[in-house]
Amino acid sequence: MKNRYKPIKYIKRVAFSNKLDSIISLTIISFGLVFLISLVKWVIFSANWNVVRLNLPLFFFGSFPNDQLWRPGLWISLFAILSFTTLWGPPWSWLRKNLPLLWVSFAPIGVFLLAGGCGLSPVESRNWGGLTLTILLTSCSAIISLPLGIALALGRQSALPVVKKLSSIYIDTMRSVPLIAVLFFGQLLIPLFLPVGLEINRVCRAIIAFTLFVSAYIAEDVRGGLQSIPRTQQEAGEVLGLHPFQITYLIILPQALRIALPSLTNQAVGLLQNTSLMAILGLVELLGIGRSILANPEFIGRYIEVYIWLAAIYWVICTVMALIARHLEQQMSLEKKDL
């Protein structure tokens, strides 16, 4: 008898504790219902999903040659499998140990699958697009900017004034500039700084620009990790007679990276979202392909459907990455408890 009244009591306590509370709750419930019903009605009856259904290959692979679609398809599946394996936490220790390695090799595999060579027919970078290009930009920039960011963070902590000053100037300038200016630099100005005759394609220039930008932010995250390592760790290394390089690489850095890992994953989420800026600068990544489909007279005015579809894709990927970040955080706090 007692237990049957508990849920009602609970609901009363958390949502209807006084008059104002009840009014707020009732308003939310009624508005929520109206919103949900009209949303479901719109999705099923009013929306015309042809614009998404007919363009699915474009959204995922851009204008990649039709007979080679398995290549980006395989790569995106690999991305999904890797993400879910990381989240699920496989019981086999050999796989768990090699997961970081798999993530590191993910970007080179993508470049090989997309660009071709070594037995695969070459595909030019202007045919890359859609979700594939978004993930390529994200993974390549992330993998290059991580070591750069770590180097900058170490540089900023360095005892050598020249190194310290140079890294600080770089980090502070990059962090005060809007990303779109850096990307603009990548697209229009990098060609001007190259020797005559040397040309880099647009995707590469975008990756360079993202790397320049993101490494400054990664540097600050890593610095946060470095600063939280107690000084005694350094002293312990010195007492053991280790070389300063050994102390940094074997003792300080692994611990600092471990602490910085959640914020680094958030950086990756931000990077993925920011690759959409390339739509303004003329690459047809996920948002860019959406824009060019909307410019097609056949699908004119189908803004809501396309934007909601794109938002759903971005949301799913970013949420999975955020979940991975939280997962790593929990795992680390557990490991700390074990100590």
DSSP state, residue 44: I
Specify which residues 130 forms β-bridges with: 285
Contact with other proteins (CB under 8 A) among 311, 330, 331, 335: 311
Residue 1 engages other proteins in binding (rule: CB under 8 A): no
Q: Which two tokens stand for residue 192?
A: 């001007």
The distance of closest approach from Cβ of residue 90 to other proteins in the complex, given in angstroms and rounded to an integer, is 26
Tokens 């027919």 appear where? 121
Could you say whether residue 159 binds other proteins (CB under 8 A)? Answer: yes
- Please report, as residue ranges, which positions from 196 to 255 form the binding site for other proteins (by CB under 8 A): 196
Residue 280 lies near other proteins (rule: CB under 8 A): yes
Residues 303, 294: Cα–Cα separation, whole Å: 7
Residue whose token pair is 């009856």:
45
What is the residue type of 113?
A: L
Choose among 327, 269, 334, 313: nearest CA to 58: 313
Only one residue has tokens 């709750």, namely 25
**Which amino acid is present at 262?**
P
Any contact of residue 185 with other proteins (CB under 8 A)?
A: yes
Segment near other proteins (CB under 8 A), from 39-47, 54-62, 93-101, 181-189?
181-189
Considering the complex, what minimum distance in angstroms separates the CB of residue 236 from other proteins?
A: 21
Instruction: Pick from 69, 87, 151, 163 the residue near other proteins by CB under 8 A.
Output: 163
Q: How far is the CB of 61 from other proteins (least distance, A)?
A: 20
Token code pair at residue 334: 């557990």
Q: Is residue 315 involved in binding other proteins (CB under 8 A)?
A: yes
- Rule CB under 8 A: choose which of 21, 78, 111, 125 binds other proteins: 21
Q: Which of 181, 200, 236, 300 binds other proteins (CB under 8 A)?
A: 181
Q: CB nearer to other proteins: give 198 or 339.
A: 198
Helix (H) or strand (E) holding 299: none
**What does DSSP assign to residue 122?**
P
Strand partners, 120: 117
**Nearest-approach distance from CB 58 to other proteins, in angstroms:** 17
162 binds other proteins (CB under 8 A): yes
One-letter-per-residue 3-state SS of 184-203: HHHHHHHHHHCCCCCCCCHH
Stretch that binds other proteins, among 47-55, 58-66, 79-87, 180-188 (CB under 8 A): 180-188
Nearer to other proteins, 1 or 295 (CB): 295
Does 160 engage in binding with other proteins (CB under 8 A)?
Answer: yes
* Token pair of 258 as six digits: 């471990």
175 and 216 Cβ atoms separated by less than 8 Å:
yes
Q: H or E segment at 288?
A: helix 286-294
* Cα 222 to Cα 150: distance, rounded to the nearest angstrom: 6
List residues binding other proteins (CB under 8 A).
14-15, 17, 21, 24-25, 28-29, 32, 159-163, 166, 173, 176-181, 184-185, 188-189, 191-196, 269, 273-274, 276-277, 279-280, 287, 303-304, 307, 310-311, 314-315, 318-319, 322
